[in-house]
Amino acid sequence: MNILVLGAGQLARMMSLAGAPLNLNIISYDVGSKQLMHPLTLHVIDQSLTEAIAECDAITAEFEHIPDDVLTECSVSGKFYPGKQAIKIGGDRSLEKALLGKTCVPCAPYQLITERSHLNNAIDDPGLPLVIKTCQAGYDGKGQWRIKSDSNVEQIWSEMSDFLAAGSNDAPHSIIAEKMIPFQREVSVIGARDKFGNTAIYPVTENEHTGGVLTLSVAKAISQDIQQQAMDAFNRLVSEMDYVGVLAIEFFDVDGKLMVNEIAPRVHNSGHWTQQGTLCSQFENHLRAVAGLPLGATEMIGPSAMINVLGQADIPVEVLSVPDVTSHWYGKAQRPGRKMGHINVVAETEQLLGEKLVALAAFLPEEDYPGVARRGKDLTQN
């Protein structure tokens, strides 16, 4: 079976690796160069997008910011999962907020901004402090501002107005102002839904970000109440969208109540731990869903962690001397802050996971791998 993936980055690469044992052949479409290629070798395939759509059995996407004409052409084929609307929602926070409101899934109070008067309204209600996010083209902490007092409003509005002015009638730009919510931790849930409405949901994962970029994810025992809240949100959203594939939802944990930060209609960085931490990874389950295959098991093999490798050309070889540690590389050119790969570690108990993170921290400098040592010590002391 041939599956076309819109996008040719690391997520398509990992889908290709997961698909091979299932006899699923993955072909990528690089929306920037408009070329078809193999996601592992990057060998260019002499074929048009139209020809690839005709020959493939299913189409999916590895990211949200895809030109509308490409989404439309894939959608009319009847082979595109999770579908045009789901991808559009994932790439536009205003559509995302509308979906959350329609499904009664909690999120922070917000105000949509397309002109200065809307910002003034947001300062009054929901009120300062505010987190300002672009509705389109924002990722990994980019396209965001924070207003904590009136003193920096003018400077921030100048930058916001530049973004709004860059939009067009066909592709207007908008901005969301959200109430800044004090939260105890950030968590996420990842699950898959097949074409028949069956779901398979992974355990909730605790995430740590540095400068808006995910640096560390830990999957371990979590309260049943938190897991149930996350699963309820997942089921409401996928049911409303008639979703097929893997969906990720990021939450703020506010005194034991989950509030959605954002959703991603695709496999997600915070789910990379599933490659070694479960019998069926998020990549395999996504492919199973879009290919019409039965979904796989999502239970943890054991407490697990994922450490992002950001901007590093390599990792110390000693990392691989720690038991049950696996490295994954994306084949990218080195660039500061760029996601170059990740490290997965799995253990039999949380105590042992903590010990392994402490061992890894001896080889991974804190400035490049923030939080690994601290989180390891926390786990060993619980």
Which residue is associated with the tokens 């999770």? Answer: 82
What's 115's domain CATH number?
A: 3.30.1490.20
H helices of 123-273, where?
Answer: 153-165, 224-241
CB atoms within 10 A of CB 330: 15
Q: Are residues 218 and 319 in the same domain?
A: yes
3-class SS letters over 16-85: HHHHHHHCCEEEEEECCCCEEECCCCCCEECCCHHHHHHHCCEEEECCCCCCHHHHHHHHHCCCECCCHH
**Is 26 a member of any domain?**
yes
Q: Are residues 361 and 301 in the same domain?
A: yes
**Is 130 a member of any domain?**
yes
Q: Are residues 194 and 173 in the same domain?
A: no
What's 306's domain CATH number?
A: 3.30.470.20
pLDDT digits (tens, 9 = 90+) for 206-260: 999 998 899 999 999 999 999 999 999 999 999 999 999 999 999 999 999 999 9
Q: Are residues 174 and 210 in the same domain?
A: no
CA quadruple 347, 350, 355, 361: dihedral sign: positive
- Its domain, for residue 324, covers 185-381
Q: What value does the mean pLDDT take over residues 128-144?
A: 81
Q: What is the number of structural domains in the chain? A: 3
Q: Which residues are within 8 A (CB) of 269 and not within 5 positions of it... i.e. 6 or more apart?
A: 214, 217, 306, 308, 339, 342
Q: What value does the mean pLDDT take over residues 355-371?
A: 98
Q: Are residues 49 and 126 in the same domain?
A: no
**Is 175 a member of any domain?**
yes
Q: Are residues 166 and 241 in the same domain?
A: no
**Is 55 a member of any domain?**
yes
**Is 50 a member of any domain?**
yes
Global pTM?
0.95
- 337 phi/psi in degrees, rounded to 5: 80, -5
Confidence of residue 142 (pLDDT cuts 50, 70, 90): low
Q: Are residues 60 and 74 in the same domain?
A: yes
Helix (H, G, I), strand (E, B) or coil at 188: strand
pLDDT at 140: 59
**Is 263 a member of any domain?**
yes
Mean pLDDT of the chain: 95
Alpha-carbon torsion, ordered 57, 60, 62, 67, to 10 deg: 120
b/e sequence 120-143, b meaning 16+ C-beta within 10 Å: eebbeebeeebbbbbbbbbeeeeb
Q: Are residues 49 and 117 in the same domain?
A: no
pLDDT at 143: 80
Q: Are residues 280 and 354 in the same domain?
A: yes
Residue 189 pLDDT > 80: yes
What's 35's domain CATH number?
A: 3.40.50.20
Q: Are residues 17 and 67 in the same domain?
A: yes
Q: Are residues 229 and 174 in the same domain?
A: no
* Domain boundary, last residue among 131, 164, 179: 179
* Domain boundary, last residue among 179, 202, 222: 179
**Is 354 a member of any domain?**
yes
Q: Are residues 149 and 213 in the same domain?
A: no
